[in-house]
Amino acid sequence: MIIVSEEICKGCGLCVTFCPVKGLLFLDANKVNAKGWNPVACADQAKCTSCAMCALMCPDTAIEVYR
């Protein structure tokens, strides 16, 4: 399970780039946080392998991964 703190996420996209399951994470153009950024969202939690690459690459520690 991937949990993104939407208010912390600045939408840099590093997690999207480094996720081995392409298309799992995406910048959600339909949401804007209080700082004006589009946070990351997960397309399908069931496809997540819990590798935690997204959390490791996040410079703002806005992502938590649970197995």
Architecture of domain 2-65 in this structure: 2-Layer Sandwich (3.30)
Quote the pTM value.
0.88
Average pLDDT over every residue of 53-66: 96
Q: Would you list the domain boundaries of the chain?
A: 2-65
Give the pLDDT score at 67: 85
Reading the block at residue 46, the tokens are: 């069931």
Q: How far, CA to CA in Å, does 50 sit from each of 6, 30, 35, 36, 38?
A: 19, 25, 28, 29, 23
Tell me the per-residue pLDDT of 10-53, one tens digit each, with 9 for 90 and over: 999 999 999 999 999 999 999 999 999 999 999 999 999 999 99
